[in-house]
Every structure is written in C-alpha cells, then in structure tokens.
Amino acid sequence: MDRILIEQLRLSAIIGVYPWERRIRQPLLADIELHADVAGAALDDAIDAALNYASVADCLRAVVEASRFQLLESLAEHAARVLLDSFSSDGLRLTLTKPHAIGRARGAAVAIERRRAETPRRVWLSLGSNIERESSLRAALRALRERFGGLLVSSVYHSEAVGFDGEPFYNLVVGVDTDVSLAELAGWARQLEAANGRVRSGNKFDARTLDVDVLTWGHAVGDFDGITMPRDEILRYAFVLGPLAEVAPKERHPLTGETYAALWAGFDQASQPMRRIDFDPLA
C-alpha cells in the first residue's frame, strides 16, 4: 500500500493534567502517514484524484486546536478517527509529540496505527416539527426505520421557536448506522421533508411540518459536497445538544472531542428552556 506523509506539522492545544496546563496552549508536533492508493493520481497527474495534503493538515489542526484532552493518547485516538472518516484512506499512523514534556528529553510522543472500520458509520440526525407535530414525526421515523433499520431515538422535547415568532416545536435526535454517502443521505432527508409537506421558501426560520438535518457523519470534519460536518447547530441549540446528550452521552463531538454529556453540562440551559414530553413517536 502506498503512503502519504506529512511530517512535523506544528500545532497547539490545551493538553495535560496539571492545572497550569488547562490554562495555556502548548505546542505539539504531528507526523501523519496515510495509507492510500496513489496510482490513479500518478497515472493521470490529476489533482482531483489525489488526496489533498493541505486539507488533511487543516482538518487535523482544526480538531487539535478545538480539543481539550488531558492525555496525548486520547487526543491521538480521536484525531485518528476523524482523519479516517474524513479522507479516503484505508489506515494511518499518527504520531503526536509534546516537546520538552520531560526533563532532559527533546519530547514525549504517542504513536498509534489504526485502520478504517469495516462497519457502517454512525450518523446522527435532528428532527423537528411545529406543524402537525405528532403525525409528522411519526411519519419521519417510519420512513427512517424502513430505510435504515434499527434506530437510536431520543426522547421528544418541547421548545419554543428560535429566530422567529411561531408555534412551539417538537424536537428529537435519531441515530442510524449506514454506509451511504453524505450527499445521498442529505438528498434523501430533503425528499423526506418534501414528502411530509415541507415547503421551502428560502427563509430558514419558517414554520415547517418536518425538518431533518444531518448532524454528524461518523467522525468526519470538513466540507463534503458543500455540506459542513459536524453541523454547528449541535453547539448552538439546546434542542439539538440536549437530546444528543441524553441518547449518546459518552460519544464525542467530532471537532472538539468533548462528550455530549460534558458539552450539555457546560451549556447555558436556562437561556433556551425546553422540556421533555410524554410522547412516543414510534408508537
């Protein structure tokens, strides 16, 4: 298998277990070895067929600089998952070095090797409705179950409309395991909205029978066919983060690396009040 190497990429992060290390950013160095077939790009001399080194570096930099891990091992593991889900690589070797971490040593490092998982990737979707709420959400979950099989479904939450004056919403999040592309999944979600009477006026704050948004696509970070992952609403809205923290408390946000439970604990919940309701959309 061919190898693509990026050596001594300079990064910075909040990393470490001591109190002073939680207050400042420290320098890190990254060495990345991606396993990828470069024959097609080499044969055609075509940039479109090549793995974009700059994009790999930018992705790793974004993840590392947004993270707040204590252990270098945890940061390396999380970053490896992100890179494998974000780029066409069968496997990788990632070395993260913390310069001058030990006296009389140039640095301390962690090196890990990982292969792409053969199992389908976990995808989280946000569902919302403020028109015919119960019937719309039930119809959406029926369609999701028919298309993807088993579902992981949060409770349903009642929340006020955000950004406009309108009827309150019912919101929940749904997890599915799939190997479809992000573009295909997003297109299917738009079709599901339309099939349930969603009319798009161009105003993102309109009332709607059904809103289906792809929140995460595995651990992918970046822009894929014009779709940015992870969706920024996860960190902005209680009606997204709260249900995620309920149904997937130990899963980590692809960019920051924090668990959804920790993110929810640090969220200003009083600023966006919502309440869990006694409604089973799968019934």
Return the number of other C-beta atoms located less than 10 Å from residue 76's C-beta: 21
Q: Which of the following is catalytic: 78, 81, 98, 208?
A: 98
Tell me, what's the pLDDT at 41? 79
Query: What is the span of the domain harbouring residue 71?
Result: 3-115
86: closest CA among 227, 198, 208? 227
CB 49 within 8 A of CB 36: no
Percent of the chain at pLDDT > 70 equals 95
Q: Has 98 been annotated as catalytic?
A: yes
Burial class (CB in 10 A: 0-12, 13-18, 19+), 140: buried
Percent of the chain at pLDDT > 90 equals 78
CATH for 91: 3.30.1130.10
For residues 38 and 72, state if they share a domain.
Answer: yes
For residues 220 and 238, state if they share a domain.
Answer: yes
Task: Report which residue type is found at 6.
Answer: I
Tell me, what's the pLDDT at 199? 62
DSSP 205-263: TS--S-EEEEEEETT--EEETTEEES-THHHH-HHHHHHHHHH-TT-B-TTT--BHHHH
Tell me, what's the pLDDT at 111? 98
Tell me, what's the pLDDT at 282? 86
Largest CA distance in the chain: 68
Please state the φ and ψ torsions of residue 197, each to the nearest 5 degrees.
90, 10
Return the number of other C-beta atoms located less than 10 Å from residue 1's C-beta: 10
Average pLDDT for 90-95: 96
Write the DSSP symbol of residue 279: -
For residues 55 and 188, state if they share a domain.
Answer: no
Question: SS3 for 275?
Answer: strand
The pLDDT tens digits for 60-69 are 999 999 999 9
Average pLDDT for 115-122: 88
Tell me, what's the pLDDT at 206? 62
Question: SS3 for 153?
Answer: strand
For residues 175 and 262, state if they share a domain.
Answer: yes
Question: SS3 for 72?
Answer: helix
When the pLDDT of each residue in the chain is averaged and rounded to a whole number, the result is 92
Task: Out of 80, 99, 115, pick the residue that ends a domain.
Answer: 115
For the chain, the domain total comes to: 2
For residues 198 and 102, state if they share a domain.
Answer: no
The pLDDT tens digits for 203-234 are 555 667 899 999 999 999 999 989 999 999 99
Please indicate, yes or no, if residue 240 is contained in any of the structural domains: yes
For residues 234 and 137, state if they share a domain.
Answer: yes
9: closest CA among 52, 54, 48, 49? 54
Structure tokens of 87? 């780029």
The pLDDT tens digits for 265-276 are 999 999 999 999
- Crossing angle of helices 72-86 and 53-66, in 10° steps, is 140
DSSP 105-129: SSEEEEEEEEE--SSPEEEEEEEEE
Please indicate, yes or no, if residue 282 is contained in any of the structural domains: no
